[in-house]
A and B are shown apart, each in its own frame.
Chain A
Amino acid sequence: DAKTTQPNSMESNEEEPVHLPCNHSTISGTDYIHWYRQLPSQGPEYVIHGLTSNVNNRMASLAIAEDRKSSTLILHRATLRDAAVYYCILSGSNYQLIWGAGTKLIIKP
């Protein structure tokens, strides 16, 4: 039972920023918000995760709403290699990740 809701797909132009939304209205106080991405026939790749504060790393930024019921993954400058399925996932105290359907990101050259 996925606890997150994401759009099925999104399109963006190359070299433009991408904002991938995720709703998680039933999030509990101890759930972390994770983002992974997966290219076809490959294992998922870790992108970023956070708990309450916004997070930045070399791949992306994660903006978390004040009530934590939604978050946005931000790719600052999309390239063709960023085309993938992006998963927004909550993890609880047992460290398990329960995967939803994800968002297929299409990058147009």
Chain B
Amino acid sequence: GAVVSQHPSRVICKSGTSVKIECRSLDFQATTMFWYRQFPKQSLMLMATSNEGSKATYEQGVEKDKFLINHASLTLSTLTVTSAHPEDSSFYICSASLPRQETQYFGPGTRLLVL
């Protein structure tokens, strides 16, 4: 149980376009979802915390107008990278947790390459 999926698994786009990444909890309802970014040979960096039905809370240094997060249902959160640039190329990972539980379950990640 506790499976999280992400789509797409990898995407290549041109500079200036927008890219949407979906994160789904397949067998549980997740009141909280988290979005991370990971650059090569580095650790995960938390971008934002998303609670169903409310605005996401962004970490310091993460532009909320560039990284749009929508958590419209208990099983789906989306991250849209707007006007993507080559420096946005990274591995984006989402996770989901059960209500009032510590454990996070991670998706397989989305590799974004901006040309």
Asked if B54 CB lies within 8 Å of chain A CBs, one says no
Cβ proximity bits B15-49 to A, threshold 8 Å, 1 near / 0 not: 00000000000000000101010000001111001
CB-based nearest B residue for A100:
B43
On whether A43 and B106 interact (CB within 8 A), knowing A95-B32, A98-B46, the answer reads yes
Q: Determine the distance from Cα of A100 to Cα of B111 in the docked complex, in whole angstroms.
A: 21
B43–A46 touching, CB < 8 Å: no
B102–A41 touching, CB < 8 Å: no
Nearest chain B CB to A58's CB is how many angstroms away?
Answer: 14
Residues in chain A near residue B106, CB distance under 8 A: 36, 43-46
B43–A44 touching, CB < 8 Å: no
Q: Determine the distance from Cα of A18 to Cα of B101 in the docked complex, in whole angstroms.
A: 28
A99–B43 touching, CB < 8 Å: yes
A interface: dominant SS: loop
B46–A42 touching, CB < 8 Å: no
On whether A101 and B103 interact (CB within 8 A), knowing A42-B108, A95-B32, the answer reads no
Cβ proximity bits A23-49 to B, threshold 8 Å, 1 near / 0 not: 000000000101010000111111001
Q: Determine the distance from Cα of A101 to Cα of B106 in the docked complex, in whole angstroms.
A: 18
Residues in chain B near residue A45, CB distance under 8 A: 106
CB-based nearest B residue for A46:
B103
Residues in chain B near residue A44, CB distance under 8 A: 44, 93, 95, 106
Cβ-defined partner of A43 (8 Å) among B32, B46, B101, B108: B108
Nearest chain A CB to B99's CB is how many angstroms away?
Answer: 10
Asked if B89 CB lies within 8 Å of chain A CBs, one says no
List A residues at the B interface (Cβ < 8 Å). Answer: 2, 32, 34, 36, 41-46, 49, 87, 91, 94-102
* Nearest 7 pairs of A and B residues by beta carbon: A43-B106, A99-B44, A99-B43, A43-B109, A44-B106, A32-B102, A43-B108
